[in-house]
Amino acid sequence: MSNFSKFLQRHYQQAPDKVSITMLFAGQPACPVTYRQLILGASGYVQTYIQNGIQPGDVVLFILQHSADLLFAYFGAVLHGAIPSIMPFLTEKLLPERYRADLAALVAVTRPTAIVTYREFEPEVRAALKPGQDSVRAVIVSNQAKGPFQPDFALFDGLRRKPEDIALLQHSSGTTGLQKGVALSHQAVINQLDNYGEAIQLTDDDVFISWLPLYHDMGLIACWLMPILMGYPLVLMSPFDWIRAPHRLLQAVSEFKGTLSWLPNFAYNFCAQKIRDRDLEGVDLSTWRAISNCSEPMRWDSHHAFYKRFRTLGLRHEALTTCYAMAENVFAVTQGGIDTPVVYEDIDREFLQTKKIALLAKPGQIVVRMLGTGKPILNTRVRIINAKGRPLADRQVGEVAVQSDCMLTGYYHRPDATEKAFVDGWYLTGDLGYLVDGELYITGRKKDLIIVGGKNIYPQDLELLAYEVPGVHAGRASAFGIFNEASGTEDVVMVAEVEINSPFERRKIADGIRAAVTRGSAVALRYIHLVSPPWLVKTSSGKTARSANREKFLKEMQAKGQDY
């Protein structure tokens, strides 16, 4: 198959009544969609795009909630030969002014021809546009789209797209997800589906279960394009329904005999802590064969907590797997835990911080437990390089560089960013890590490093120490550095969300954080800033946006006339 539309055509012609996707909505019966229904609904959107002057090769943005409309609108763009891109929509975590500004900036760079959204969100979309000045010719409201149409494949320009043509845009993770547009060709995505399908050993019995948002590569590729294009059953729920009731994921696995899911690390803790016994009656997780930890730093403790909480429901420890992925490689770079159990090792923390070497710890030393992300998938190479771009030996920490047949075509309309991202044909990820016999370990982000007195400090190490303090929960702290002109080095600041209002208790938590960091690391905190949720800024994929939190902190201090 040379393009997405040919996959869809084959499914429609060979198994039109096969259920492609089952959509779950809170409080409603499951909604199965066959390939026939998918193509008929998508054909209606093809007619809508033609009516609105959308041409093959034009970019179409989707700002839609979990719905059949999103399914039909997206694959309608595919069949029409347009370039689809799913965007996050405004939530309570995003400031409306910031969202509009970022959307306007993205429109200016990406130059989409159309935006598809729902009626309630149309005013927000139009508020970000500049009529007569930007590229958007049509704002299409989903309930105004054409009804189902019998498909005429001879009229679908998507079938004529070349393998090297751009198939879709993903937007790399930022504080709202509206950052650089990652342009991916049909061939790159198809290569990824083939390579990754082999890595996770797909079989005819596999059933995908997901709640992940589709504007992020983990949801879009692993839990949307892979099952739909390759013909595997997909059960999909809204991320908002999951966050309100995380037990729905486990119930779906049990009901539909799910085998494959992907979760960010925080979801393991969230499920273990929030799901109540009364919501697990009759749940059977024995069919779950691979739950891949992906998209943020992976923690052994999170795996252990998840397994301990749900093992009585048939969850097998070997089902807990790992994956290192990024939009620029379509999705997966490595996969671990499929053939053999996920590996981990205890590393001397002081040596890691000061020498940038992952030395196995000796008894009595303070350790960092590192969880392996697995080995590179087929046709993918990984190396660790130093600041001069030279490869490093095993256990030496440096920047992760990747080469594959799944690589992005480029950052859309950003040749400057594309050029900076590559050195001698290797994509520079910005992640820090090390290799051991081909196994990749990720230690942190290059840009998030805090440098104190010449010593490199990984902020996530300090955040982990903060999480040990009662009253501070996983994912609720952000550490960053602020340059101190007087000392000539960075001071370390910790912001932590707490749900306690008592001044005495808050002081107790702050003292606990300070003591934990002093005791567990080689640095002292300059300032601890306790805030109420939801203060912290997160990226679209749920990662801590440390630079954005740093800016927010400095603005608050300036507004108060205080020196941090």
Q: Provide the CB-side half-sphere exposure for 480 (13 A, CA).
A: 22
CATH of 449-559, one of 3.40.50.10800, 3.90.180.10, 3.30.465.10, 3.30.300.30: 3.30.300.30
Instruction: Supply angle C-alpha 530, 532, 533, rounded to 5.
Output: 125
- Return d(Cα 441, Cα 324) in angstroms, integer: 9
Q: Which CATH class is domain 332-446?
A: mainly beta
CB distance 169 to 412 below 8 Å: yes
Would you list the DSSP string of 107-164? Answer: HHHH--SEEEE-GGGHHHHHHH--TTTSS--EEEEGGGS-------GGG-GGGG--TT
Query: Which pTM does this prediction carry?
Result: 0.84
Token pair belonging to 537: 């800024």
Distances (CA, A) of 391 to 395, 405, 422: 12, 21, 15
In Å, how far are 94, 215, 404 from 376, measured between CA atoms? 35, 24, 10
Residue 179, number of CB atoms within 10 A of its CB: 20
d(CA 114, CA 134): 11
Q: What is the full DSSP assignment across 36-100?
A: HHHHHHHHHHHHHHHHTT--TT-EEEEE--SSHHHHHHHHHHHHHT-EEEE-----TTS-HHHHH
Q: DSSP string spanning 371-431?
A: EP--EEPTTEEEEEE-TTS-B--TTB-EEEEEEESS--SEETT-HHHHHHHEETTEEEEEE
pLDDT value of position 245: 96
**Same CATH fold assignment for domains 332-446 and 449-559:** no
CA distance 540 to 523: 30
558 Cβ neighbours under 8 A, 6+ residues apart: none
At residue 470, φ and ψ (nearest 5 deg) are -55, 130
Domain range summary for the chain, segments of one domain joined by +: 30-179, 332-446, 449-559
pLDDT at position 177: 40
CB 356 within 8 A of CB 446: no
Contact predicate 327/182, CB 8 Å: yes
Bridge partners (DSSP) listed for residue 33: 21
Q: Fill in the DSSP letter of residue 361.
A: P
pLDDT at 176: 37
Longest dimension (CA), the chain: 72
For residue 25, what is the DSSP state?
A: -
CA 347, CA 357: separation in Å to the nearest integer?
9
Residues in the chain, total? 564
The CATH architecture to which 30-179 belongs is 3-Layer(aba) Sandwich (3.40)
Q: What is the pLDDT along the chain (564 residues), one digit of tens a residue?
A: 799 999 999 999 999 999 999 999 999 999 999 999 999 999 999 999 999 999 999 999 999 989 999 999 999 999 999 999 998 877 665 557 767 877 888 888 899 999 999 999 999 899 888 887 789 999 999 988 888 888 999 999 999 999 999 999 998 644 334 468 999 999 999 999 999 999 999 999 999 999 999 988 999 999 999 999 999 999 999 999 999 999 999 999 999 999 999 998 888 988 998 999 999 999 999 999 999 998 777 889 889 999 999 999 999 999 999 999 999 999 999 999 999 999 999 999 889 988 899 999 999 998 989 999 999 999 999 999 999 999 999 999 999 999 999 999 999 999 999 999 999 999 999 999 999 999 999 998 777 778 776 677 889 889 989 999 999 988 889 999 997 766 667 889 999 999 888 899 999 999 999 999 988 777 889 899 999 988 998 876 677 888 889 989 999 988 877 765
The secondary element (H helix, E strand) that includes residue 12 is: helix 4-14
Distance from the Cα of residue 522 to its chain's centroid: 31
Whole-angstrom CA distances from 75 to 60, 150, 233, 376 are 11, 15, 17, 30
- Which token pair is 40? 């008929």
Return the DSSP state at 343: P
